[in-house]
């Protein structure tokens, strides 16, 4: 049963990855169809993230009221219904409203599956694998979008396809996952307010906000940069963007295992990845050669790979275990704020300065991200979160494991 649940979790993250990977390829077609510019089409980043953020705030309460199975099934059902609705090609205003629901459903799946896998033995490696399957989906997404457009299909067909793909995930979640509820929270500490009083949650949320901003900016605007500023063909640009997501996937499969064999701790591994990210971004920016650009995009994705899952994996070292589901939900919600605001800002800069501003913009964000990890690493090295504004008395795992097949940690 544990293996079957992991397969469903991995399939759910492939779905989330396809949704993320295809969106950048669809942007030019959406601008042409709705007759809007880069700034206006970028509003969907904000609406999608508002749904994601809403799910991040609500996840802890939803899990406590519904249990794991119903919580995750709700997210998948919302995704299916909304994706099919967008596939019918609504007007732009309705499309923006629908992306709020799409973000809400995706956020539930993201946080819920992160929490489930994060409670399994060997969760650091499993979380890297989980997010590697996001990379698999993000690798597939640009190719799906490119092939549909080249076949003369309208861009909403990509959403219809995602809605159909999500149906087996919904069935798997509804039939295979446990229905258990987490234990009641401490009477004197509501999980949401308790999590919000912890400096580590704010630092981790800010870190993932920047991280997802970089990931989505490169993934969504890279296709436009290659076709409009570097004059690559659409098929070649689609392959390069897929190479970016392939690098992200390989980074999640390879880097954590390689660091373990080399005896590197989590903090050192993350510093190495962030340094590599800065170098790869600089080279891709300074050397506009097509081959160097293709390799550079792949390396940017490769070094980005472990950053998100590793940040989620260290949360049990930073917050009490009973706060982990709420903290992860908040982190996922905060991450998508960056995934909307920062790509929108990239589009606004491209509108005024040209698409050549994309890579230097990414480099600045990467340097700030390096400073953010330095602050988190200091908290990990301390005996606890020194900036808690109030003590929280909690005990026990994030979810009761009575009757479950997962065993101990």
Please state the rounded mean pLDDT for residues 180-186. Answer: 56
* Inter-CA distances, 164 with 14, 36, 205, 369, Å: 13, 28, 32, 37
**Range of weakest confidence among 289-293, 320-324, 384-388:** 384-388
Confidence of residue 390 (pLDDT cuts 50, 70, 90): very low
User: Is pLDDT of 58 > 60?
Assistant: yes
Rounded to whole angstroms, the Cα distance separating 27 from 163 reads: 19
User: Is pLDDT of 72 > 90?
Assistant: yes
Average pLDDT along the chain: 83
Closest CA to 78 of 104, 44, 48: 104
Confidence of residue 25 (pLDDT cuts 50, 70, 90): confident
User: Is pLDDT of 68 > 90?
Assistant: no
At 175 the pLDDT is: 94
- pLDDT tens-digit map of 233-260: 777 787 888 788 889 889 988 998 888 8
Going through 311-372 in order, the beta strands assigned E by DSSP cover none
Q: Which residue has the higher pLDDT, 168 or 233?
A: 168
At 46 the pLDDT is: 82
Total residue count of the chain as it appears in this document: 409
User: Is pLDDT of 409 > 80?
Assistant: no
Rounded to whole angstroms, the Cα distance separating 233 from 147 reads: 14
Rounded to whole angstroms, the Cα distance separating 27 from 95 reads: 13
Element at 223 (helix H, strand E) = helix 199-224
Please state the rounded mean pLDDT for residues 198-224. Answer: 88
- pLDDT tens-digit map of 278-315: 999 999 888 877 777 788 999 999 999 899 989 988 88
Contact, 142 vs 230, CB < 8 A?
Answer: no
**Range of weakest confidence among 41-45, 106-110, 121-125:** 121-125
Please state the rounded mean pLDDT for residues 120-132. Answer: 82
User: Is pLDDT of 13 > 60?
Assistant: yes
At 403 the pLDDT is: 29
User: Is pLDDT of 70 > 50?
Assistant: yes
Q: What is the dihedral of CA 276, 330, 53, 271, to 10 degrees?
A: -10
pTM, full prediction: 0.72
User: Is pLDDT of 407 > 60?
Assistant: no
Handedness of CA 319, 325, 328, 334 (dihedral sign): negative
User: Is pLDDT of 394 > 70?
Assistant: no
Question: Domain 2-381 class?
Answer: mainly alpha
Rounded to whole angstroms, the Cα distance separating 300 from 293 reads: 10
* Inter-CA distances, 159 with 58, 153, 156, 329, Å: 25, 12, 5, 25
Q: For 61-81, b where at least 16 C-beta lie within 10 A, e where not — what string?
A: ebbbeebbbbbbbbbbbbbbb
User: Is pLDDT of 160 > 80?
Assistant: yes
At 389 the pLDDT is: 38
User: Is pLDDT of 180 > 90?
Assistant: no
Closest CA to 55 of 409, 363, 329: 329
Plot region of 122 (φ>0 → left; ψ -120 to 50 → alpha; else → beta): left
350 Cα distance to chain centroid: 23
- Which ranges constitute the DSSP H helices of 225-286? 234-262, 266-286
Please state the rounded mean pLDDT for residues 328-339. Answer: 79
At 184 the pLDDT is: 52
Please state the rounded mean pLDDT for residues 126-151. Answer: 85
**Range of weakest confidence among 66-70, 284-288, 398-402:** 398-402
């Amino acid at each position: 049963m544990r293996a079957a649940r992991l397969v469903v979790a991995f399939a759910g993250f492939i779905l989330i990855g396809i949704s993320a990977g295809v969106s950048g390829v669809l942007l030019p077609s959406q601008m042409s169809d709705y007759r809007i510019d880069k700034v206006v089409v970028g509003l969907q980043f904000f609406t999608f993230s508002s749904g994601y953020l809403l799910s991040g705030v609500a996840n802890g309460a939803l899990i406590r009221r519904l249990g794991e199975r119903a919580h995750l099934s709700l997210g998948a059902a919302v995704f299916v219904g909304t994706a099919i609705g967008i596939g019918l090609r609504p007007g732009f205003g309705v499309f923006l409203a629908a992306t709020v629901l799409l973000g809400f459903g995706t956020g539930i799946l993201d946080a819920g599956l992160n929490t489930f896998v994060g409670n399994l033995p060997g969760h650091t490696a499993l979380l890297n694998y989980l997010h590697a399957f996001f990379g698999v989906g993000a690798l597939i997404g640009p190719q799906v979008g490119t092939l549909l457009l080249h076949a003369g299909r309208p861009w909403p067909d990509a959403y219809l396809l995602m809605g159909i793909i999500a149906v087996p995930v919904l069935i798997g979640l509804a039939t295979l996952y446990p229905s258990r509820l987490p234990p009641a929270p401490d009477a004197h500490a509501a999980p949401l307010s308790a999590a919000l009083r912890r400096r580590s949650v704010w630092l981790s949320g800010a870190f993932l906000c920047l991280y997802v901003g970089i990931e989505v900016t490169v993934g969504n605007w890279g296709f436009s940069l290659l076709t409009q500023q570097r004059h690559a063909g659409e098929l070649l640009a689609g392959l390069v963007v897929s190479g970016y997501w392939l690098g992200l996937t390989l980074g999640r499969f390879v880097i954590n295992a390689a660091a373990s064999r080399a005896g590197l701790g989590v903090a050192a591994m993350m510093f190495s990845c962030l340094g590599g990210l800065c170098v790869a971004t600089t080279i891709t920016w300074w050397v506009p050669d097509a081959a160097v650009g293709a390799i550079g995009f792949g390396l940017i994705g490769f070094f980005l790979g472990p950053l998100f899952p590793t940040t989620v994996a260290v949360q049990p070292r930073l917050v009490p275990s009973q706060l982990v589901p709420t903290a992860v939900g908040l982190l996922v919600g905060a991450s998508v704020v960056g995934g909307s605001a920062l790509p929108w800002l990239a589009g606004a800069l491209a509108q005024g300065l040209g698409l050549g501003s994309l890579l230097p913009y990414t480099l600045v964000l990467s340097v700030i991200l390096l400073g953010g990890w330095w602050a988190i690493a200091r908290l990990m090295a301390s005996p606890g979160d020194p900036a808690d504004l109030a003590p929280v008395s909690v005990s026990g795992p994030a979810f009761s494991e009575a009757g479950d097949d997962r065993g101990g940690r």
